[in-house]
Amino acid sequence: MIAIVDLGLGNLFSVDQAVHYSGGKSVITDDCEVIRKAERIILPGVGSYRFGMCAISNKGLYGCLKDSIDSGTPVLGICLGMQLLMDSSEEHGYCRGLGIIPGRSIHFRNRVDFDSDCKVPHIGWNGLFKNVDGGQWHDSILADVNEGDSCYFAHSYCVVPDKQEHILSLSRYGGCSYASSVKHKNVTGCQFHPEKSGIIGLKIIDNFISGNSKGADK
Amino acid sequence: MTTSGRGKLERQVPNLPDNIEFCNKCVMSNQRPRILFDGDGICSACRNTLEYKNKIDWASRERELKILLDKHRSSDGSWDVIVPSSGGKDSSYVAHQLKYKYGMNPLTVTWAPLQYTDIGLENFRSFCDAGFTNLLCTPNGKVHRKLARLSFEELGDAFHVFVLGQVSYAFHIAVKFGIPLVMFGENGDAEYAGNPEAVDAPLIPSERWRNIYFKGCSLEEMIEYGIENKDYMNREDFNSADLKFYSPPSIEEMERAGILGKHFFGYYKRWSPQESYYYAAEHAGFKANSERTEGTYTKYASLDDKMDGMHYFMKCIKFGFGRTTDDASHEVREGHISREEAVALVNRYDGEFPAKYFADFLAYLDISEDQFWDVVDSWRRSNVWHKVDGEWQLRKKVS
Amino acid sequence: MSIRIIPRLDVKGSNVVKGVHLEGLRVVGIPSEYAETYYMDGADEILYMDSVASLYGRNNLREIVERAAEKIFIPLTIGGGIRSVDDARALLRAGADKVAINTALFTKPDLINEIADNFGSQCMVVSIDAVLIEGRYECLTDGGRERTGVEVDKWVENAVERGAGEILLTSVDMEGTGKGYDIELVRKVTKSAPIPVIACGGAGCCGDVEDVIKEANADAVSAASIFHYRLIKEMGARSGNGEGNVDFMKRSSGIGGNLRKGIDPVSISSLKQYLHSLGEDVRITGSSKQ
């Protein structure tokens, strides 16, 4: 059973449908016990970082999420869900994250390498490219995805992992190269929305469900 | 001005039922002149549609049309059909079909609106540019305005003066040029009232339409009454030359020209204002207005005259229903909207005050706002309107 | 980043409808069939607009969205009659990714802030129906029926300040005519807005889409007539429940040639191939893979 964590933010229905479409069984839940028992966990979300962290805290989910991660359960963070995995975000000045993947989330316009004429939010389809210092795609949710294949993005903030090796894929926007997906042991995050990225996205979800995202000792 | 200070020129209102009812199928009111409601509470227009219009073999009607047109089509490219046009969606559709689909040579004629709107002029020009010769008649302004004011006071409708010429002018031109075929668009009595006499008729013979149409009151009667009772009307203002186009040609003149009567394109082709709109937009450059027409929900009907909105407002004052009821009822009959949607539209827009051109209206008739409201209130029938907390409200609304 | 091609489905009740100048409710087909076809043919997003929501004071696209989200895995934007954060939340939970709002914002402009704060700015699309009156572009509401007196420039500024993520810019003058986009209108807005702009209204052929990308710098392009008038021939005469203005649809199935003068219908994949051949960055999908 795959637990889709319900933080009350955004479109969970599509994530659920995408999992079903790919042959998985999922449940949308904010119940700690269900999350603990899940074989895999998806952490989706859109919107405010602070809302996301507050929801985790108010629903008492921090403990079960951390425990599941520590015990090697594969976790996939999507969009805001991925950003919450980081140490912090500069949204609202400073907001603490889950601290699973070292690094932070910053606004595009605060990147020194970002073209100020470029529009934010970044909304649309953009290509995924390999990171030479990062993990192998074949061992990840990006197995069988070709370099340059596009996925759907909709965000104003991007993550900057402390360690290059945690960057699974790069994408280009506003003249800069940024982390479009990250991976650290059994935890993967993607900035794009695989549940909204057509056939490629469904492949990615399928990879996650069928276990190509394992990377850690369980 | 009170009712007692008014003449007896208006003859429709006294014949209407006291008790107000609305059709159970569409949203039409039984206060519409010439409409009939049956024992099931269904109006004659709906009955006409259900039992008749929906069963018409339109292919056979088209054959009839072709036969008619074959008889009239000129062999030398000269004008062979008169099409009264405004540049609106309906007349654009009729003229374009006659010319480009059926190979006729229409001469389009226009009786000028009281006051052209910008969008009306734009559409009129686009229409001519789509390939039509047009004769635009602008009536004597002094005469027109006085008659408009008289009509407003004595018939509750300034627009009546437009209506007088709209039909008659086309026939004068037909007589003048010897063109026997005069093709209008929709047969209002069939489409909106379901008048049994009108329903199954490709045309209304000249004698009949001359009698029915003028709200039971002739132009001569109106002018005589006005000269006797109104300080703004004097005999020397009215000469027969400038009044010529307000009344139809004589029966003899029309018979000599071979004119049988008012033909209706709507007899031969299923009449749908919405489909006329699409057609006119596609083929004649017709453009919808940038905002909703006051008093209804559409943007494509009756766009050309600043005074038009007041016509529908007065309709609501006199009969308790307005433009939205007409439009929505027709769309319900066509199956384009549901009755529920029609009710929502009527309650939202019917009887809306035409504020946009109110100042133009007062200036056109040369009356003050007080005079305006006196006339308006004199037309409120007590079975239709009552005052609630000092405000006029309809006694009964459709639901 | 690729230019997005977004087919627009104006929906009334259970039917896709297509008007001219946002007027007229001619039925062209069934929403789910149209959306699925466009998805399979390479659409980047789908835009659903409830064309009479404001007219009747209702919004009933939830069911349509739910059904779509079961099979369509590209972003869905929903508009028409959204008046509150709760309305937006309900649609998002049903499978929508973005909400497009117009009319309600003129009485409750704070709604932009509220939705952006609650769901993120990328979710908040400010929909602008623009008309050219006396040399100025003005915003319309209620399905293109009511004037606001508000200039488009000012409204865009307001939207950006309040946190909108995108502008959906529809030219009511050009919409449904097939005479091309209003290049000047789109250019003005793409130049001044620091957020993406979706151009809508007027496409009659592939060249019109190229023009609005090249000359007006649209970030995304939405169209309806050029796609629908092709599908209606293929799909045949089928409406949701037989209601509505189905006259055109009935007489159009099985007919050869163009159904509408001035509109050169095209499939999404063909349009993309055309744009690609001119050097535009568009996402090309194969028939069975992306």
- The H or E element spanning position C204 is none
Window C:142-171, CB contacts with A under 8 Å: 165-166
Of A10, A51, A200, the CB nearest to C290: A200
Query: Which of chain C's residues have a Cβ under 8 Å away from the Cβ of A198?
Result: 39, 73-74, 285, 290
User: Would the CB atoms of A195 and C121 count as touching at under 8 Å?
Assistant: no
**pLDDT above 70: residue B303:** yes
User: Would the CB atoms of B283 and C261 count as touching at under 8 Å?
Assistant: yes
pLDDT, tens digit (0-9, with 9 covering 90-100), for B238-283: 998 999 999 889 889 999 999 999 999 999 998 888 899 999 999 9
Cis before residue B180, ω within 30 degrees of 0?
no
A–B touching, 3+ CB–CB pairs within 8 Å: no
Identify the band that residue C235 occupies on the pLDDT scale cut at 50, 70 and 90.
Answer: confident
% of residues, chain B, pLDDT over 90: 73
DSSP-assigned letters across all residues of B59-73: HHHHHHHHHHHHHH-
What whole-number distance in Å separates Cα of residue A68 and Cα of residue A76?
A: 12
Task: Return the pLDDT at A134.
Answer: 79
User: Would the CB atoms of C97 and A154 count as touching at under 8 Å?
Assistant: yes
**Is residue C43 classed as helix, strand or coil in its secondary structure?**
coil
Domain of residue C136, residue span? 4-277
Q: Is residue C222 part of a domain?
A: yes
Say which residues have a Cβ less than 8 Å from residue B60's Cβ, sequence separation at least 6: none
Is residue B196 packed enough to be buried (19+ CB in 10 Å), middle (13-18) or exposed (0-12)? middle
Catalytic residue (choose from A79, A95, A151, A158): A79
pLDDT, tens digit (0-9, with 9 covering 90-100), for A71-82: 999 999 999 999
Q: Which residues of C are catalytic?
A: 10, 129
Task: Return the pLDDT at A141.
Answer: 95
Residue B394 per-residue DSSP state: E
Task: Return the pLDDT at B272.
Answer: 87
Identify the band that residue B5 occupies on the pLDDT scale cut at 50, 70 and 90.
Answer: low
Task: Return the pLDDT at B1.
Answer: 44
- The H or E element spanning position B295 is none
User: Would the CB atoms of A156 and C69 count as touching at under 8 Å?
Assistant: no
Task: Return the pLDDT at A185.
Answer: 93
Q: Is residue C118 part of a domain?
A: yes
Question: How far from A106 is each of A93, A159, A161, A178, CA to CA, in Å?
Answer: 10, 6, 11, 11
Of C2, C39, C288, the CB nearest to A124: C2
Q: Does C194 touch chain A (CB under 8 A)?
A: yes
Between B91 and B211, where is the model more confident?
A: B91
Task: Return the pLDDT at B62.
Answer: 95
Intervals of chain A under pLDDT 50? 212-218
| List of chains touching B (3+ CB pairs within 8 A) | C
Mutate to test the interface with B, among C150, C239, C247, C248 (most CBs of B within 10 A): C247
pTM of the prediction?
0.90
| List of chains touching C (3+ CB pairs within 8 A) | A, B
Query: Which of chain A's residues have a Cβ under 8 Å away from the Cβ of C2?
Result: 124-126, 150
What whole-number distance in Å separates Cα of residue C185 and Cα of residue C170?
A: 9
DSSP-assigned letters across all residues of A84-132: HTEEEE-TTS-EE---SEEEEEEEGGG-TTS-TTS-SSEEEEEE-EE-T
Of C66, C165, C290, the CB nearest to A149: C290
Report chain B's C-alpha Rg in angstroms: 21
Query: Which of chain C's residues have a Cβ under 8 Å away from the Cβ of A193?
Result: 75, 97
Q: Is residue C289 part of a domain?
A: no
ipTM of this complex prediction, to 2 decimal places: 0.91
| List of chains touching A (3+ CB pairs within 8 A) | C
As a whole number, mean pLDDT of residues B308-315 equals: 94
Query: Which of chain B's residues have a Cβ under 8 Å away from the Cβ of C262?
Result: 282
**pLDDT above 50: residue C101:** yes
* CA of residue B177 relative to chain centroid, distance: 25
Task: Return the pLDDT at B3.
Answer: 46
User: Would the CB atoms of A121 and C165 count as touching at under 8 Å?
Assistant: yes
Q: Could you tell me the sign of the dihedral formed by the alpha carbons of A122, A124, A126, A128, in that order?
A: positive
**pLDDT above 60: residue C94:** yes
% of residues, chain B, pLDDT over 70: 95
Q: Could you tell me the sign of the dihedral formed by the alpha carbons of B295, B296, B297, B300, in that order?
A: negative
Is residue B116 packed enough to be buried (19+ CB in 10 Å), middle (13-18) or exposed (0-12)? middle
- How many CB atoms neighbour CB C168 within 10 A? 26
As a whole number, mean pLDDT of residues C31-40 equals: 94
Q: Is residue C32 part of a domain?
A: yes
What whole-number distance in Å separates Cα of residue B7 and Cα of residue B150?
A: 11
pLDDT, tens digit (0-9, with 9 covering 90-100), for B71-93: 999 999 999 999 999 999 999 99
- The whole-chain average pLDDT of chain C stands at 91
- How many CB atoms neighbour CB B176 within 10 A? 12
Identify the band that residue B206 occupies on the pLDDT scale cut at 50, 70 and 90.
Answer: confident
Closest CA to B319 of B365, B275, B381, B367: B381
What whole-number distance in Å separates Cα of residue C262 and Cα of residue C265?
A: 9
A90 among known catalytic residues: no
What whole-number distance in Å separates Cα of residue B140 and Cα of residue B19?
A: 42
Residue A146 per-residue DSSP state: P
Between A69 and B167, where is the model more confident?
A: A69
Mutate to test the interface with A, among C76, C123, C191, C290 (most CBs of A within 10 A): C290
What whole-number distance in Å separates Cα of residue B331 and Cα of residue B344?
A: 13
Task: Return the pLDDT at C288.
Answer: 32
Say which residues have a Cβ less than 8 Å from residue C154's Cβ, sequence separation at least 6: none
Nearest CA distance, C14 vs chain A (angstrom)? 22
Closest CA to A121 of C82, C4, C125: C125
pLDDT, tens digit (0-9, with 9 covering 90-100), for B7-57: 777 777 777 888 999 999 999 999 998 888 999 999 999 988 888 888 889
% of residues, chain C, pLDDT over 90: 74
User: Tokens 């695989």, residue?
Assistant: A194
Q: Does C145 touch chain B (CB under 8 A)?
A: yes
Q: Which amino acid is at C96?
A: A
Closest CA to C7 of C64, C23, C36: C36
CA angle B359–B360–B362, rounded 5-degree value: 65
What whole-number distance in Å separates Cα of residue B6 and Cα of residue A52?
A: 74
As a whole number, mean pLDDT of residues C111-124 equals: 94
Instruction: Take residue B71 and report the two structure tokens written for it.
Output: 């008889």
Identify the band that residue C116 occupies on the pLDDT scale cut at 50, 70 and 90.
Answer: very high
Query: Which of chain C's residues have a Cβ under 8 Å away from the Cβ of A121?
Result: 121-122, 165-166, 195-196
Task: Return the pLDDT at A216.
Answer: 39
Of A14, A173, A193, the CB nearest to C95: A14
Question: How far from B217 is each of B12, B79, B225, B240, CA to CA, in Å?
Answer: 10, 34, 11, 18
Q: Is residue C287 part of a domain?
A: no
Q: Is residue C227 part of a domain?
A: yes
Q: Does C75 touch chain A (CB under 8 A)?
A: yes
Mutate to test the interface with C, among B278, B283, B340, B349 (most CBs of C within 10 A): B278
Half-sphere exposure of A29 (CA within 13 A, CB side): 20
Between C140 and B200, where is the model more confident?
A: C140
Query: Which of chain C's residues have a Cβ under 8 Å away from the Cβ of B338?
Result: 243
Closest CA to A7 of A26, A24, A31: A31
Least confident piece of the model among B98-107, B189-198, C73-82, C168-177: B189-198
A79 among known catalytic residues: yes
Identify the band that residue C168 occupies on the pLDDT scale cut at 50, 70 and 90.
Answer: very high
Domains identified in chain C, total number: 1
Query: Which of chain A's residues have a Cβ under 8 Å away from the Cβ of C75?
Result: 152, 154, 193, 196
User: Would the CB atoms of C24 and B277 count as touching at under 8 Å?
Assistant: yes
User: Would the CB atoms of B278 and C26 count as touching at under 8 Å?
Assistant: yes
Which CATH number does the domain housing residue C213 bear? Answer: 3.20.20.70
Q: Is residue C237 part of a domain?
A: yes
pLDDT, tens digit (0-9, with 9 covering 90-100), for B91-149: 999 999 999 999 999 999 999 999 999 999 999 999 999 999 999 999 999 999 999 99
**pLDDT above 80: residue B211:** no
**pLDDT above 80: residue B4:** no
Report chain A's C-alpha Rg in angstroms: 16
Which residues of chain A form beta strands (DSSP E)? 2-5, 26-29, 40-43, 75-78, 86-89, 95-96, 101-107, 122-127, 129-130, 150-155, 157-161, 167-173, 176-184, 187-190
**pLDDT above 70: residue C255:** no
Nearest CA distance, C119 vs chain A (angstrom)? 4
What whole-number distance in Å separates Cα of residue B60 and Cα of residue B191?
A: 20
Of C4, C69, C118, the CB nearest to A14: C69
> Which residue numbers of A have CB closer than 8 Å to C's CBs?
9-14, 17-18, 21, 46-48, 51, 80, 119-126, 149-150, 152, 154-156, 173, 193, 195-202
Q: Is residue C140 part of a domain?
A: yes
User: Would the CB atoms of C74 and A152 count as touching at under 8 Å?
Assistant: yes
